[in-house]
């Protein structure tokens, strides 16, 4: 990490100093209060471990939003035992400070401390009662205003402190931070607040023991989501390497599927497709050529011109591929993409000779991605073409062979993010020699296709795909500086 | 998926269903006689149970569950004080009313599923009724008799007691589930129990905690406690559903990709699926754990993937016909392909070892060969000999050949179980 600017350093120091003062004040009053009424120590002892655990283990909800239980625990703390308890609990977050990202974590701890104090004091000033005295007449509606206002204050304190640090240390615009902190996080914050309230409610009937139970469903949700994420990653890895293995076997187009998938996703994003459709399209791209396994290897590797019969065998591969993946239910829309990726807009494609809009959208996307990758990869009969050259060729064929909209989307996408030019690379692994067939049926400039070959470095593609895959969510929603 | 009556009532399921039915009838009859006490509370919980039943999910391992419904049932059994808008009241209803309300709510919540042709397993419904009744039987007499006032008064004692009730209930639920599953899928009871308890550890603890939380919070929040505490459980349920979905997709995809050998003309059509089905049946009966069964299924589906690396397909794809060296080479090539995924090392090992004979002459039994490999070896040999044929003479001849190979080629225990599994399908098939 880069060293902080002087102004940012000063800012962090000031915040830490304020937090330390607040902590000192809380400690002194808490000790007094505990001596008199004995209601401070136990909430701190119960809530501090929960707080530390929630700092250490953020919960990732299924939707990809990170949920840290820090704020709810702090809100619960002042509802249960007053602002002093909240401040003491917040300060225990310091236990989790590690040497990497040290400054951030120190700042976060200070920020939580101040936010907790702000919420707790506002609650007290507005006449909010501590949960230990709720039991007799239940949750009184009079508490609603203090609870809501104090939660808003926690949010506000958090947002303002973050605003400062992100502006000074990372140069983010105040407006964008404000928007992401306050506007988009207001609802989650209210949910957090409710959660804190629930812990307080349970405390009022069953002490800390009951309050701690609230965490179990959340921990279980977190565990299940982790299982899901792990399984998903395994799924990705499996499908990719199995498809690669299949490619290796037939001596053709190593890495082609990966890149077609990547280009298809670029086009789809440019078209503004829904996320789940992009996802299905990504898999359709990976799987679009699996049907080639049904084409006899002899035909795939043949160097001379193909007989009609052999050409017919090649034309069957989209059908075979679709047959194979038909059992995978979440790919339903992808079937059509795989089946029709060799159709042409003018109706001269295969297997069904569909025209124009009759061709499913997925198929029109894959057709362009497929041809593009084919042209920009090295062939034995020619070197890899440059990207602009390939795009020009696609534009020539747009309207007759390809959907102009898809071609345009690809051109636009490549203006934003350059295509990684693929170098021929030696692929280890299976003990099969890569043999070079002369022509590629995906190459639009080749009239009578008869063979396949391709060399590619797949690592780059794989890395990029995994970046895409990462559920990227605004760090600000975690309520801390990361 | 349609289930036949024999599947529905197989083995232990019938006991669980009968128990649930008995409970349900007794509960409704008793409640009809005494009348519904504190009907508003009953209706509130009934609605939550029904909603939970409506939001039923399939958890990993083909477990039909209604986490929210189960938690609401538990909560209804455990409610003590309840704050209605008017006053704080002590609940007075008994075990039979809990059973009756749960039963009716579950039936109501199930109706829409039945209407669209997705009836849940009777056994899982019966279990939810039994569980709510069981928890009520532990807790309600203690509470309504006033015994709790002296032993669990104040602070952490009441929640702790509820937690104990929930734990015992959980154990009973696990046993019931194991009883039903062991009968349905022919798994030894102990193995089924181990699987069920492992599955319960996750969602079960969330269900139990939510039940206790709702029951406790009604004292302060009244009716609000029901929807509010349902939310975290629904979040958990949602995560579980996605987990189950991705597992399902994974299996479908492996099935699809495993067909490359068939599409490529290396093996007979349907071979990998049949070997997988037979292997799983054998593995279950041998008591393999759920995780091991998943590995076994994947390995069985992909056991021939090494053939893709052969220059010339084996005639008919039957590896049982080629030399042991060739078999080993195919196994190794396949394992290598699978190992490259980086996440299926156990599966790769199973595929790798499938060509190992059970025992070599003059040498001791090699314990290093996974049981899954021995299962696949036998199932593959059987299917290579029989194929998709339903001809019973061919089957008997194939089984005969496996038996002859028991001394060295095949694991005798595996062949025994496999023979039984095949004979069962012969009775059904003919």
What pLDDT is recorded for position A135? 59
A206 CB near a chain B CB, below 8 Å?
A: yes
**Other Cβ atoms closer than 10 A to A175:** 9
Greater model confidence, B257 or A380: B257
Q: How many other C-beta atoms can be found within 10 angstroms of the C-beta atom of residue A296?
A: 15
Q: Which residues of B touch A234 (CB under 8 A)?
A: 250, 341, 343-344
Q: Tell whether the torsion through CA atoms of B337, B343, B347 and B349 is positive or negative.
A: positive
Interface test with B, best of A242, A313, A462 (most B CBs within 10 A): A242
Tell me the two tokens of residue B2.
Answer: 């349609």
Q: What is the mean pLDDT of residues B149-159?
A: 73
Q: Quick check: B341 and A61 CB within 8 A?
A: no
Banded model confidence at residue A117, pLDDT cuts 50, 70, 90: very high
pLDDT at residue B173, rounded to an integer: 94
**Do residue A231 and residue B235 have CB atoms under 8 angstroms apart?**
no
pLDDT-derived band at A446, boundaries 50, 70, 90: very low
The phi and psi torsions of A398 (rounded to 5 degrees) equal -65, 135
* Number of CB pairs, chain A paired with chain B, less than 8 A apart: 185
- Assigned token pair, B58: 């399939």
Q: Cβ A216–B305 below 8 Å, yes or no? A: no
User: Which of B215, B308, B311, B313 has the most A C-beta neighbours within 10 Å, making it the best mutation to test the interface with A?
Assistant: B308
* pLDDT at residue number A60: 53
CA distance readout (Å), B289 to A296, B34, B183, B415: 40, 47, 16, 19
A234–B233 C-beta distance less than 8 A: no
Q: How confident is the model at residue B300 (pLDDT cuts 50, 70, 90)?
A: very high
pLDDT for residue A321 is more than 70 = yes
Architecture of domain A6-213: Orthogonal Bundle (1.10)
User: Top-level CATH class of B259-429?
Assistant: mainly alpha
- Judged by CB atoms closer than 8 Å, whether chains meet at A135 and B341 is answered as no
* Whole-number Å distance between alpha carbons of A322 and B264: 14
Q: Pick the residue from chain B with its C-alpha nearest to A433.
A: B309
Nearest to A239 among B228, B240, B253 (CB): B253
pLDDT of residue B5 exceeding 80, the answer is no
pLDDT band at A425 (very low <50, low <70, confident <90, very high): very low
Alpha-carbon span A359 to B212, nearest angstrom: 56
Q: Measured between alpha carbons, how far is residue A349 from residues A96, A295, A352, B64, B240 in Å?
A: 62, 18, 7, 46, 44
Mean pLDDT of A245-259: 69
> Across residues B388-408, what is the average pLDDT?
83
Q: What is the C-alpha separation between B208 and B212, in angstroms, rounded?
A: 6
Give the number of C-alpha atoms closer than 13 A to the C-alpha of residue B365, restricted to the C-beta side: 10
**Best CA proximity match to B78, nearest among B135, B7, B21:** B135
* A235 contacts in chain B (CB < 8 Å): 246, 249-250, 253
- Mean pLDDT, residues B368-377: 90
Residue of B nearest to A232 (CA): B246
Q: Which of A81-90, A359-368, A466-475 has the lowest mean pLDDT?
A: A466-475
pLDDT, residue B295, reads 94
Helices A144-170 and A6-37: crossing angle in degrees, nearest 10, is: 150
Residue B3 pLDDT level (bands cut at 50, 70, 90): low
Task: Read off the pLDDT of residues B109-132 as tens digits, 9 standing for 90 and up.
Answer: 999 999 998 888 888 999 999 999
Sorted by where each begins, the domain ranges of chain B are 5-243, 259-429
Contacts of A430 in chain B (CB under 8 A): 309, 333, 336-337
Nearest CA-CA distance, residue B83 and chain A, Å: 8
Q: What pLDDT digit, counting tens, does each position of B96-115 carry?
A: 999 999 999 999 999 999 99
Interface ipTM: 0.84
pLDDT at A452: 32
Q: For chain A, which residues make up each domain, given as ranges?
A: 6-213, 232-468
Q: Can you give the pLDDT at residue B109?
A: 94
* Mean pLDDT within B75-96: 90
A324 in B contact zone (CB under 8 Å):
yes
* Residue B369 to residue B358: CA distance in whole angstroms: 8
Neighbours of B329 (CB within 10 A): 16
Would the CB atoms of B246 and A231 count as touching at under 8 Å?
Answer: yes
Is the pLDDT score of A369 beyond 90? yes
From B336's Cα to the closest Cα of chain A, the distance in A is: 8
* Contact status, residue B226 vs residue B271, Cβ threshold 8 Å: no
Q: Which segment of A34-43, A176-185, A253-262 scores lowest on mean pLDDT?
A: A176-185
Helix (H) or strand (E) holding B81: strand B81-83
Q: Which of A13-17, A85-89, A427-431, B141-145 has the lowest mean pLDDT?
A: A427-431
Q: What is the pLDDT of residue A13?
A: 93
Distance from the Cα of A372 to chain B's closest Cα (Å) equals 26
A430 and B333: CB-CB below 8 Å?
A: yes
Distance from CA of A233 to the nearest CA of B (A): 9
Report the pLDDT averaged over residues A277-296.
83
Question: What's the mean pLDDT when you consider all of chain B?
Answer: 87
Spatial separation of the C-alpha atoms in residues A89 and A69, rounded to whole Å:
13
Determine whether A234 is exposed, middle or buried from the number of CB atoms within 10 Å of its CB (0-12, 13-18, 19+): middle
Q: What is the pLDDT of residue A152?
A: 87
- Map residue B388 onto helix, strand or coil: coil
> How far is the alpha carbon of A245 from chain B, nearest alpha carbon, in Å?
6
What pLDDT does residue B430 have?
A: 41
- Whether A433 contacts chain B with CB within 8 A: no
Considering CB atoms only, which of B208, B220, B308 is closest to A139? B220
When pLDDT is cut at 50, 70 and 90, the band that residue A453 belongs to is very low
Grade residue A431 by pLDDT with cuts at 50, 70 and 90. very low
Enumerate the residues of chain B whose CB falls inside 8 A of the CB of residue A217: 206, 209-210, 232-233, 235-236
- Picking from B70, B210, B184, the residue whose alpha carbon sits closest to that of residue B130 is B70
Tokens of A171: 């140069």
CB contact under 8 A, B344 and A238: yes
pLDDT surpassing 50 at residue A471:
no
For residue range A164-203, list pLDDT tens digits in order.
888 887 777 777 767 766 666 677 667 767 778 888 888 8
Write out chain B residues lying below 8 Å of A330, CB-based: 245, 249
> Which of A352 and B173 is assigned the larger pLDDT?
B173
Instruction: Give the chain B residue nearest A321 (alpha carbons).
Output: B263
Report d(CA B256, CA A327) in Å as an integer. 6
| In chain A, residues 115-154 whose CB comes closer than 8 Å to chain B | 134-135, 138-139
Residue of A nearest to B154 (CA): A206
- Percent helix, strand and coil across chain B, each rounded to 5? 75, 5, 25
| pLDDT score of A467 more than 50 | no
Q: How far apart are CA A71 and CA A50, in angstroms?
A: 11
* Beta bridge pairs of residue B82: B89
Most confident of A292-306, B28-42, B352-366: B28-42
Q: Which residues of A touch B344 (CB under 8 A)?
A: 234, 238
Is the predicted pLDDT of residue B1 greater than 70, yes or no?
no
Candidate ranges A230-234, B37-41, B258-262, B425-429; pick with highest mean pLDDT = B37-41
Please state the rounded mean pLDDT for residues A277-283.
89
pLDDT higher than threshold 80 for residue A380: no
Mutation for A interface: B57, B152, B207, B232, most A CBs within 10 A: B232
- Looking at residue A464, its pLDDT comes to 37
Of residues A138, A210, A294, nearest to B216 (C-beta): A210
Between chains, do B221 and A210 touch, taking CB under 8 Å as contact? Answer: no
> Which of A61, A208, A249 is the closest to B309 by Cβ?
A249
pLDDT computed for residue A470 by the predictor: 30
Contacts of A285 (CB under 8 A, 6+ apart): A257, A260, A261, A262, A263, A264, A265, A366, A369
Q: Which of B27-31, B63-67, B68-72, B292-296 has the lowest mean pLDDT?
A: B63-67
Read off the pLDDT band of A428 (50, 70, 90). Answer: very low
Q: What is the pLDDT of residue B175?
A: 94
- Tokens linked to B418: 């496999």
A204: contact with B, CB 8 A cutoff:
yes
Contacts of B353 (CB under 8 A, 6+ apart): B331, B368, B369, B370, B373
Query: Minimal CA–CA distance to A328: which of A286, A275, A269, A268?
Result: A286
Residues of B whose CB is below 8 A from A316: none
At the fourth CATH level, which superfamily is domain A232-468? Hypothetical protein af1432 (1.10.3210.10)
- Whole-number percent of chain A with pLDDT over 70: 74
Tell me which residue in A221, A224, A238 faces B232 most closely, judged by beta carbons: A221
Summarised one tens digit per residue, pLDDT across range A194-249 is 778 888 888 887 777 888 888 888 788 878 888 888 888 888 888 888 787 767 65
B176-187 pLDDT per residue, tens: 999 988 888 888
Average pLDDT over residues A447-451: 34
Query: Do B263 and A294 count as a contact with CB atoms less than 8 A apart?
Result: yes
Top mean pLDDT of A52-56, A88-92, B11-15, B86-90 is at A88-92
Flag whether pLDDT at A456 surpasses 50: no
Summarised one tens digit per residue, pLDDT across range B327-354 is 888 899 889 888 888 888 999 999 999 9
| CA-atom Rg of chain A in angstroms | 30
Give me the pLDDT at residue B7, please.
63
pLDDT of residue A120: 93
What is the nearest CA distance from B367 to chain A, expressed in angstroms? Answer: 29
pLDDT, residue A131, reads 76
Whether residue A16 contacts residue A106, with contact meaning beta carbons closer than 8 Å, is answered with yes
Q: Cα separation of B420 and B430, whole Å?
A: 15
Q: Is the pLDDT of residue B321 over 80?
A: no
| Model confidence at B141: pLDDT above 70 | yes
Using the Cβ of A183 and the Cβ atoms of chain B, whether some distance falls under 8 Å is answered with: no
């Amino acid at each position: 990490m880069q060293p902080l600017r002087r102004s940012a350093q000063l800012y962090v120091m000031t915040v830490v100093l304020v937090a330390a003062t607040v902590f000192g004040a809380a400690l002194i009053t808490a000790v007094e209060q505990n001596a008199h009424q004995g209601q401070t120590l136990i909430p701190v002892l119960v809530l501090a471990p929960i707080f530390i655990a929630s700092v250490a283990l953020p919960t990732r909800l299924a939707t990809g939003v990170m949920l840290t239980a820090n704020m709810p625990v702090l809100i619960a703390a002042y509802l249960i035992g007053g602002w002093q308890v909240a401040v003491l609990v917040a300060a225990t977050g310091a236990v989790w400070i590690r040497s990497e990202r040290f400054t951030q974590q120190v700042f976060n701890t200070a920020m939580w401390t101040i936010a907790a104090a702000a919420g707790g004091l506002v609650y007290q000033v507005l006449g909010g009662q501590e949960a230990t005295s709720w039991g007799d007449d239940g949750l009184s509606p009079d508490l609603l205003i203090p609870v809501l206002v104090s939660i808003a204050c926690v949010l506000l304190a958090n947002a303002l402190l973050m605003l400062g640090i992100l502006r000074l240390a990372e140069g983010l615009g105040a407006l964008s931070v404000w928007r992401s902190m306050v506007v988009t996080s207001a609802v989650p914050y209210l949910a957090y607040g409710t959660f804190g309230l629930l812990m307080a409610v349970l405390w009022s009937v069953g002490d800390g023991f009951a309050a701690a139970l609230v965490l179990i469903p959340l921990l279980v949700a977190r565990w299940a989501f982790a299982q899901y994420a792990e399984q998903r990653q395994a799924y990705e890895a499996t499908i990719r390497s199995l498809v690669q293995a299949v490619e290796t076997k037939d001596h053709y187009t190593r890495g082609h599927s990966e890149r077609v998938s990547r280009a298809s996703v670029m086009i789809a994003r440019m078209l503004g497709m829904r996320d789940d459709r992009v996802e299905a399209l990504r898999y359709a791209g990976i799987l679009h050529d699996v049907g080639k396994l049904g084409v006899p290897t002899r035909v795939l590797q043949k160097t001379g011109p193909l007989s009609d019969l052999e050409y017919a065998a090649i034309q069957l591969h989209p059908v075979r591929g679709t047959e194979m993946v038909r059992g995978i239910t979440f790919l339903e829309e992808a079937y059509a993409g795989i089946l029709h990726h060799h159709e042409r807009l003018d109706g001269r494609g295969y297997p069904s000779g569909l025209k124009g809009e009759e061709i499913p959208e997925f198929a029109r996307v894959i057709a362009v991605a497929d041809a593009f990758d084919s042209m920009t990869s090295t062939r034995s009969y020619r070197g890899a073409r440059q990207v602009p050259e390939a795009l020009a060729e696609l534009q020539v064929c747009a309207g007759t062979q390809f959907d102009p909209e898809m071609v345009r989307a690809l051109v636009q996408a490549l203006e934003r993010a350059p295509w990684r030019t693929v170098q021929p690379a030696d692929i280890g692994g299976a003990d099969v020699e890569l043999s070079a067939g002369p022509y590629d049926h995906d190459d639009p400039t080749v009239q009578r296709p008869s063979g396949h070959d391709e060399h590619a470095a797949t690592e780059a593609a794989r890395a990029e795909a995994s970046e895409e895959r990462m559920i990227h969510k605004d760090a600000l929603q975690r309520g801390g500086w990361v | 998926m349609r289930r036949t009556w024999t599947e529905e009532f197989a083995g232990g399921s019938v006991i669980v269903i009968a128990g649930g039915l008995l409970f349900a009838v007794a509960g409704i009859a008793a409640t009809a006689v005494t009348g519904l006490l504190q009907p508003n509370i009953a209706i509130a919980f009934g609605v939550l149970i029904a909603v939970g039943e409506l939001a039923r999910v399939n958890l990993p391992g083909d477990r039909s569950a209604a986490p929210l419904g189960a938690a609401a049932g538990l909560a209804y059994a455990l409610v003590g004080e309840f704050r209605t808008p008017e006053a704080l009241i002590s609940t007075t209803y008994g075990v039979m009313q809990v059973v009756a309300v749960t039963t009716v709510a579950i039936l109501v919540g199930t109706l829409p599923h039945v209407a669209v042709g997705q009836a849940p397993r009777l056994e899982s419904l019966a279990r939810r009724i039994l569980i709510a009744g069981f928890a009520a039987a532990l807790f309600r007499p203690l509470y309504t008799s006033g015994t709790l006032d002296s032993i669990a008064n104040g602070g952490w004692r009441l929640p702790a007691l509820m937690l104990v009730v929930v734990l015992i209930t959980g154990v009973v639920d696990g046993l019931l589930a194991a009883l039903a599953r062991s009968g349905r899928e022919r798994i030894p009871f102990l193995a089924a129990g181990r699987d069920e308890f492992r599955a319960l550890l996750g969602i079960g603890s969330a269900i139990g905690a939510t039940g206790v939380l709702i029951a406790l919070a009604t004292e302060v929040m009244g009716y609000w406690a029901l929807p509010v505490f349902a939310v975290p459980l629904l979040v958990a349920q949602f995560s579980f559903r996605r987990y189950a979905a991705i597992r399902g997709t994974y299996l479908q995809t492996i099935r699809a990709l495993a067909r490359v050998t068939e599409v490529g003309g290396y093996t007979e059509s349907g071979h990998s699926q049949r070997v997988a089905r037979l292997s799983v049946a054998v593995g279950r009966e041998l008591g393999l754990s759920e995780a091991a069964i998943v590995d076994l299924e994947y390995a069985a589906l992909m056991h021939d993937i090494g053939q893709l690396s052969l220059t010339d397909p084996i005639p008919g794809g039957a590896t049982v016909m080629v030399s042991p060296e060739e078999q080993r080479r195919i196994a190794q090539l396949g394992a290598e392909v699978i190992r490259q995924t980086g996440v299926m090392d156990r599966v790769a090992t199973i595929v790798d070892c499938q060509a190992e004979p059970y025992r070599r002459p003059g040498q001791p039994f090699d314990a290093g060969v996974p049981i899954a490999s021995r299962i696949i070896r036998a199932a593959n040999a059987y299917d290579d000999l029989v194929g998709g044929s339903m001809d019973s003479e061919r089957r008997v001849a194939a089984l005969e050949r496996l038996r002859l190979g028991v001394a060295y080629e095949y694991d005798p225990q595996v062949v025994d179980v496999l023979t039984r599994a095949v004979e069962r399908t012969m009775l059904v098939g003919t």
